[in-house]
Amino acid sequence: MHTLLSTPKRDGYRMPGEFEYHDGCWMIWPERTDNWRYGAKPAQHAFVNVAVAISKFEPVTMVVSPAQYDNARHMLPEDIRVVEMVTDDSWMRDVGPTFVVNDQTGEVRGVDWTFNSWGGLVDGLYFPWFNDDHVAQKVCEMEGKDRYRLNNFVLEGGSIHVDGDGTVITTEECLLSPGRNPHLSKKEIEDTLKEYLHADKVIWLKRGIYLDETNGHVDNICNYVRPGEVVLAWTDDETDPQYEISKECYEILSKETDAKGRKLKIHKLYVPSPILITKEESEGVDSVDGTLPRVEGDRLAASYANYYTANGGVIIPLFNDANDEKALALFRELYPEREVVGVYAREILLGGGNIHCITQQQPMAIPAVKPLELVGAR
């Protein structure tokens, strides 16, 4: 594994859309008891369900601490690879590498952004986070992938979505937040995204889901189904603060064109009714100074947009809500070529994210040039 000083754009690498073909999916085992209730056992069952659902479509690797190795190995089926690594929590979307591909040579590399626990000492969610900041490098090393490391640019994978065709969608709430890159202007942030994801256009939404503790990650409010087509978390309830946020996003998206000049087709994806933390759920979490507390009655940032697109399948969070069926029906319509699988995800939501946040795809690059031609060219 080499650390490269150039950029993916200069080297001909791009971040593919999640809907493109994957080599596999990475996850991290939950265990910290100040975020996951009751010794993280209910969350571990939920993570197993997600891993098993994804493993029907592509290989899954679960990263596990040495202390949890035996337990995780026992709870996970043997076709899920379990590897030891020390982490601070279990959000592979945000701490793992953003993989980029070279469509000519079929090579894959990792982008290793700086991770600071969603806002560092300004409004980060736990301290310290240095084990998490090493995860991308360790994954690249395990996979033998070269990496681009950005020491002066904080970003989490959940704060960007791409269409693989030149367009990035993100939110101002997150990328312009004071805890991430206050030394950079909006233009400098946009230029960095373009350079490291190989994009030509950034679409800026203002805000993410109401009360999202990540400062409004885009992956909880919007997702690409395919180039030119997105789902947007939605409510018709004008008394819900989510209404104004979703309406604002809709207005931005409907006026925009993407990098290829296409108007976007926007599908409204109704959020579940407000989900509040119960007394029992709150009491199951250890109180630790410096970690975001889980308080009874607090509203969780629930959204069906936080789903994972796998080879041949989509894995959707369910909440036992009246809108679960509506969401599943929309996904079946939008993904006729994939199997739609719902996983009950309240436990993941209680930790502050959802299925998309706990997964990271490793794309497969399909070379346009045959290997022998490459050898001949050297």
Interface ranges with ligand KQY (CB under 6 A): 35, 91, 93-94, 125, 158, 213-214, 217, 220, 351-353, 357
CB of 159 vs ligand KQY, minimal distance in Å: 8
CB of 94 to ligand KQY, least distance (A): 5
Question: In sequence order, what are the residues at sequence separation of 6 or more whose Cβ sits closer than 8 angstroms to the Cβ of residue 336?
Answer: none
Closest approach, Cβ 171 to ligand KQY, in A, equals 12
Smaller CB distance to ligand KQY: residue 258 or 347? 347
Residue 168, beta-bridge partner list: 162, 202
Report cis status (omega within 30 of 0) of the bond before 128.
yes
Clarify whether 357 is annotated catalytic.
yes
DSSP annotation string for 95-123: HS-EEEE-TTT--EEEEEEE--TTTHHHH
Closest CA to 103 of 24, 16, 161, 195: 16
Structure tokens at 332: 């079946």
DSSP conformation class of 14: B
From the list 140, 174, 249, 357, the catalytic residue is 357
**Which residue, 13 or 26, has its beta carbon nearer to ligand KQY?**
26
Q: Min. distance of Cβ 160 from ligand KQY in angstroms?
A: 11
CB of 13 to ligand KQY, least distance (A): 23
Of 11 and 298, the one with the shorter C-beta distance to ligand KQY is 298
Q: Which is nearer to ligand KQY, 161 or 338 (CB)?
A: 161
- Looking at beta carbons only, is 167 or 303 nearer to ligand KQY? 303
Question: Edge-to-edge strands of the sheet including 22-28?
Answer: 81-84, 60-64, 22-28, 360-363
Number of H helices, E strands in the chain: 14, 17
| Phi and psi at residue 113, to the nearest 5° | -75, 160
Write the single-letter amino acid at 262: R
Q: Are 252 and 204 in contact, with CB atoms under 8 Å apart?
A: yes
The answer to whether residues 145 and 106 touch, using CB atoms and an 8 Å cutoff, is no
Please list the active-site residues.
Answer: 357
